[in-house]
Chains A and B, each alone.
Chain A
Amino acid sequence: MQDKNLVYVGNSRPIRDAALKVTGQLQYTGDLKFPHMLHAKMLFSPVAHAKIKRIDTSKAEALPGVKAVVTYKNAPRIPYNSAMRFYEHKIPEVEYLFDDTVRFVGDRVAAVAAEDLETAEKAIRLIEVEYEELPPVFDPEEALKEGAPEIHPGGNKIAEIKAEAGNVDEAFAQADYVFEDRFTVPQIHHCAIEPHVAIATYDSRGKLTVYSPNQNTFAFRIIISKVLEMPMSKVRVIRPAIGGAFGGKLEATIEPVVALLAKLTGRPVKMELNRRETMVSTRTRHAAVVYLKSGVNKDGTLVAQDFKVILNTGAYATSALNVSGAMSHKVFKVYKTKHMRFTVTPVYTNTPIAGAMRGYGSPQAFFPQQVHLQRIAKALNMDFVEFQLKNLVEPDGVDPRFNTPHGNPRPIDCVKRGAESFNWFNRPKAVDLGRFKRGIGMAVGAHGNGCFGAHRDVTAMVLKMNEDGTATLFTGSHDMGNGTVTAETQVIGEILGIDPENIECIEADTEATPWNLGDYASRGVFVSCNAAKKVAESVRKEILKEAAILLEVPAEELELVGGWVVSKKDPAKKATLCEVIVNAQKVSQREIIAAETFASQAGVTSYGAHFAEVEVDTETGKIRVLDYVAVHDVGKAINPMAVEGQIEGAIQMGIGYALTEGLEFDEKGKALNNSFKKYHMLKASEMPKTKVLLVEEGEDPGPFGAKSIGECSTVPVAPAVVNAVSNALGIDFRDLPLKPEKVLKVLQRQS
């Protein structure tokens, strides 16, 4: 796996398009303009739950410059699920382009396309809507009660998903102690700096093209072709540059509506949501209520654990089942305990739609677990790191449900290296500076690598050689700035012996690149870089075959080094890649090209251990994170600088989850802080001194031993920070976020 000297894999390099980004040359969707392009605007519901009694669009339609107005009355009515991933994906289909019922403040009511944005905005205001209000329900536990307002026919409980290992109840009965806690985590927004935007064009051949900064072009094509009843050959989805996504651009939000407007008008149509709209009318991370029960023995052995999670999916199902399923797996990957149960109930409420967000269920599971376990360790008078080391899975650990090996899990290495670097054992857990109280805390988190075990997990790629020995890759990967495609070029460069810079990439376009399941589930490195490896090996074989003809040496004797094909036996026998490719064209009269499909056959886990020092201002309740160490088991870092970048960004997001972020609503369900002014994401001056360390012990099924990092890195942050706060104050916190007013209230109650 790592037995040879790697040239490009393991090297830090900037992402491929960095030069375009620092000069402003890269074209994002919002930067694109088409001749005679119309501008679209959406009308969103001002009420949380209502039947539309009357909707009158006549004044809007009569406004000069208005080209189309769509509502539930004239839009196609095909149910769909915006989180659909593949053609026959069976998940609840309760969404429509427009419906006669609105289910949250921010739900779609109508859309207008007009010659310019001002006209579209004016037309939206001219649409008259009379709502017959229905009782709303915002709290997921309330929504489960008998007699709660029904948001969709059949009730608010979408499903109950259960995963179980061993005999949990018996183990509880035998445990020395049993601890129980209730936790809540809020609905947060991704806050990609690029708001949601899409452009659609529709030509006289009946061809629809959608430009959208999304994470799943192939799934969007399925959804759009379904709701507009168009053949897939007539729908093309292209992903221009993505200005940040984090899961928020994985599900189809405005795209089907923009596509409909283009189809109706025959003109290019652009819709850009503003920040307020983006924060409530696209997607959020699921809020949750988590009941957690653990059985432990006096010596600190965790013998059983039982999770009961109520997951608030908001007004529509979208990812409800996918996130529930994903989160139910992860907790079985971390501790040695054989008795574990995870029950999750996704529930509809009249709140903004929850969908995919970085971590995909893991933050909602590991925040409660890690805070709960620190409380237990304290009660047992045990250092939390010692508790972790006693219970964490060893490299030869197995999933207790199936008795299958985890792979090469290294959470123990992460904890040990982190504890050493952070000087954990020699630092006081709490320091009282009078008004300011400091504390340290740590937590472990984990996340998966792809969808193996849940459903197909496939990436296909095409790679071809150019005459001069450079290459062109056709990849369905949607790089979000995280560097997936850069990593793919490093893998290919390694195998072909060419500089990754000399591999040009055509990315995510349903008609220019082969199928890719989509960029989610942390599959970029683990699955798609494996596809890159496979297609590169296939091209390598063809190059060697052609070189053997040219050099009159058996192919097995040849290797690729630095742009040359060289005989291992007689290094004098060599040719440049250029000579080989030209000879292939001239003599064999062929192209050197390969198409390969890679299907992942392994579900390994990535781990991280984070350590934080915080300072609480007991007069204001404000918490600062001062010092931070993050250690991650990544198998092998293909691009260490990019891996660090992922972890550092995750720390910003995770501290926000712990301390400052969370959508807040008034009693009628209207968001109160859906703006960057009021929704507090961390600024540069609020970031701690940060150190990142990598554990690179290899994960066999991964390309060159590599596994995922992007999602895993955000999982341990919030519990590490909250554990530090708990230690600083000697108070347990179970509800995120720890905003100053909440902290103050708790402090006042205590004194």
Chain B
Amino acid sequence: MQLVKLLINGKEYEVAVKKNWTLLYVLREILNFTGTKCGCNTGDCGACKVLIDGEPVNSCVVLATKAEGKKIVTIEGIAEDNNLHPIQQAFIEAGAVQCGFCTPGMIITAKALLDKNPSPSREEIAQALDNNLCRCTGYIKIMDAIELAASRLRGEA
């Protein structure tokens, strides 16, 4: 076991971890950030995405020890002061949420995209979702939601 300091959603957590524990394991099993989901544990589905220094990363393929000193944002850290983030609001309104298991990862990816590119094209949105699988929606309303959120964040809608 070794002690690591993880900065999650703006708060520092000191956790004793084993060398082989992934960030996902620590988030879910030790710190109870269960909004981050595990769909494959091999980095293929994106359900476990978190932001690490602003990049969307599959937390199942990152060792917890490697995340020390970095700024981690989970789905629990997206809403501000109990107000839904415009991306979350858009996911609800556009019908982008069905079973919801991929949703946290989708929102994390969308957040990273819109932080960098406030006006993504439909193709750019689809490309950004390349590492996020969904089996319910056919991605269509997810992409609609990201477009809606983008326009609202730009102050257009």
- List residues of A whose CB falls within 8 A of some B CB: 12, 14-15, 17-28, 30-31, 33, 190-195, 241-246, 274-275, 480-483, 641-642, 644-645, 648-653, 675-677, 681, 683-685, 687, 690
Contact = CB atoms under 8 A, between A and B. Distances in A.
Given A24-B36, A645-B95, A675-B44, A244 B129 contact: no
Contact of A26 (B33, B100, B143): B100
Contacts of B45: 193, 275, 676
B130 A195 contact: no
Given A30-B34, A687-B126, 7 more contacts: A14-B97, A22-B104, A193-B45, A194-B101, A642-B95, A684-B134, A685-B127
B100 A275 contact: no
A683 B103 CA distance: 15
Nearest to B33: A24
Q: Which 7 A-B pairs have the closest CB atoms?
A: A24-B35, A21-B100, A481-B99, A243-B101, A481-B98, A648-B138, A676-B44
Interface centre among B38, B97, B102, B137 (most CB of A within 10 A): B97
Interface string B133-157: 1111111111100000000000000
Given A23-B76, A24-B74, A675 B137 contact: no
B43 to A, nearest CB: 8
B40 interface: yes
B39 A17 contact: no
Contacts of A644: 95, 141
Interface in B53-99: 74-76, 78-79, 84, 88, 91-93, 95, 97-99
Contact of B88 (A22, A190, A681): A22
Interface in B13-67: 28, 32-42, 44-45, 47
Contacts of A243: 37, 99-101
B88 to A, nearest CB: 4
Contact of A675 (B40, B75, B93, B101): B40
B8 interface: no
A327 B143 CA distance: 35
A241 B130 CA distance: 26
A500 B97 CA distance: 18
A31 B24 CA distance: 13
A33 B74 CA distance: 20
B16 to A, nearest CB: 14
B100 A17 contact: yes
B76 A24 contact: yes
B6 interface: no
A14 B93 contact: yes
A676 B40 contact: yes
23 contacts: A22-B91, A22-B92, A23-B79, A23-B84, A30-B34, A193-B101, A193-B102, A193-B135, A194-B99, A244-B98, A275-B45, A481-B97, A482-B98, A644-B141, A645-B141, A648-B140, A649-B135, A652-B137, A675-B44, A681-B135, A683-B133, A684-B129, A690-B138
Given A192-B135, A648-B137, A652-B139, A25 B40 contact: no
A610 to B, nearest CB: 13
Interface centre among B45, B91, B135 (most CB of A within 10 A): B135
A19 B123 CA distance: 27
Nearest to B18: A118
Nearest to B104: A24
Contacts of B135: 190-193, 244, 246, 649, 652-653, 681
B154 to A, nearest CB: 20
B42 A18 contact: no
Interface centre among A25, A27, A652, A681 (most CB of B within 10 A): A652
B100 A684 contact: no
B92 A649 contact: no
B133 A690 contact: no
B101 A687 contact: no
Q: Is the interface of B mostly helix, strand, loop or mixed?
A: loop
Contact of A645 (B35, B102, B129, B136): B136
Contacts of B78: 23
Interface centre among B74, B102, B125, B134 (most CB of A within 10 A): B134
Given A274-B41, A641-B95, A687-B138, A27 B34 contact: yes
Contact of B95 (A12, A480, A683, A690): A12
Contact of A677 (B44, B79, B95, B107): B44
A649 B137 contact: yes
B41 A684 contact: no
A683 B129 contact: yes
A241 B100 contact: yes
Contacts of B79: 23
A14 to B, nearest CB: 5
Contacts of B123: 685
B70 to A, nearest CB: 20
Contacts of B126: 683-685, 687
Nearest to A685: B126
Contacts of A481: 97-100, 136
A50 to B, nearest CB: 29
Nearest to B127: A685
A22 B84 contact: yes
Contacts of A649: 98, 134-138
Nearest to B102: A193
A20 B142 CA distance: 16
Given A24-B74, A24-B75, A18 B97 contact: yes
A34 to B, nearest CB: 13
A196 to B, nearest CB: 12
A15 B100 CA distance: 10
Given A17-B100, A644-B95, A687-B126, A24 B84 contact: no
B134 to A, nearest CB: 7
Interface centre among B47, B92, B125, B129 (most CB of A within 10 A): B92
A681 B133 contact: yes
A18 B88 CA distance: 9
B72 to A, nearest CB: 14
Contacts of A21: 97, 100, 103-104
A14 B129 contact: no
Given A650-B138, A684-B129, A15 B97 contact: yes
A14 B92 contact: yes
Contact of A648 (B37, B84, B130, B141): B141
B139 A19 contact: no
A18 B140 contact: no
A153 B43 CA distance: 43
A246 B98 CA distance: 12
Contacts of B141: 641, 644-645, 648
Contact of B101 (A192, A681, A690): A192
Given A648-B138, A649-B136, A30 B38 contact: yes
A23 B75 contact: yes
Contacts of B35: 23-25
Given A24-B74, A28-B37, A193-B37, A676 B133 contact: yes
B44 to A, nearest CB: 4
Contacts of A19: 84, 88, 92
Nearest to A117: B29
Nearest to A23: B79
A241 to B, nearest CB: 7
A675 B42 contact: yes
A485 to B, nearest CB: 13
Nearest to A642: B95
Contacts of B39: 193-195, 275, 676
A373 to B, nearest CB: 26
A645 B137 contact: yes
A192 B99 CA distance: 9
A685 B130 contact: yes
A645 B92 contact: no
Contacts of A190: 135
Nearest to A244: B99
A538 to B, nearest CB: 31
A275 B40 CA distance: 5
Contacts of A191: 133, 135
A190 B97 CA distance: 18
